[in-house]
């Protein structure tokens, strides 16, 4: 698994890493239960953010949430990098501007 010149993994590399490590277990677990685990991780991320936990805890929960999202995408055969680029193309998906010029609504 390669890293960029700055040492970061790109989305595609992370998704491949999650496939290599977890795909067999994820496939046995199934889409519904994998999605449930992703929602659980999102809840844990919300909790640490709301309680203003230490940065390392927040980072860990972000990593867990993203890993489960990658697992779900792998099961559904969705390439996250392609999906992101297709939807956003370096601009806001609604107003087509960068930075976004949308007026937020409640």
- pLDDT, one tens digit per residue, over 5-33 is 567 889 999 999 999 999 999 999 999 99
Indicate the number of domains in the chain.
Answer: 1
Q: Which two tokens stand for residue 70?
A: 């990658």
Q: What is the DSSP letter of 52?
A: T
Neighbouring C-beta atoms of residue 32, cutoff 10 Å: 8
pTM of this structure: 0.86
The terminus-to-terminus CA distance of the chain in angstroms comes to 42
Residue 60 sits in a domain of what CATH number? 1.10.287.1080
Over the stretch 52-75, which tens digit does the pLDDT of each residue have?
999 999 999 999 999 999 999 999
**Chain centroid offset of residue 36 CA:** 15
Q: Residue 87 burial by CB count (10 A; 0-12/13-18/19+): exposed, middle or buried?
A: exposed
Q: Which two tokens stand for residue 99?
A: 């930075």
Residue 93 belongs to some domain of the structure: no
Residue 44 belongs to some domain of the structure: yes
């Amino acid at each position: 698994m390669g890293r960029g010149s700055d040492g970061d993994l790109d989305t595609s590399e992370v998704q491949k890493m999650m496939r290599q490590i977890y795909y067999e277990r994820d496939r046995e677990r199934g889409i519904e239960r994998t999605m449930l685990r992703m929602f659980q991780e999102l809840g844990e991320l919300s909790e640490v953010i709301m309680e203003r936990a230490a940065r390392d805890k927040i980072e860990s929960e972000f990593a867990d949430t993203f890993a489960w999202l990658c697992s779900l995408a792998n099961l559904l055969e969705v390439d996250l990098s392609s999906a992101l680029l297709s939807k956003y193309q370096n601009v806001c998906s609604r107003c087509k501007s960068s930075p976004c010029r949308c007026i937020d609504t409640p």
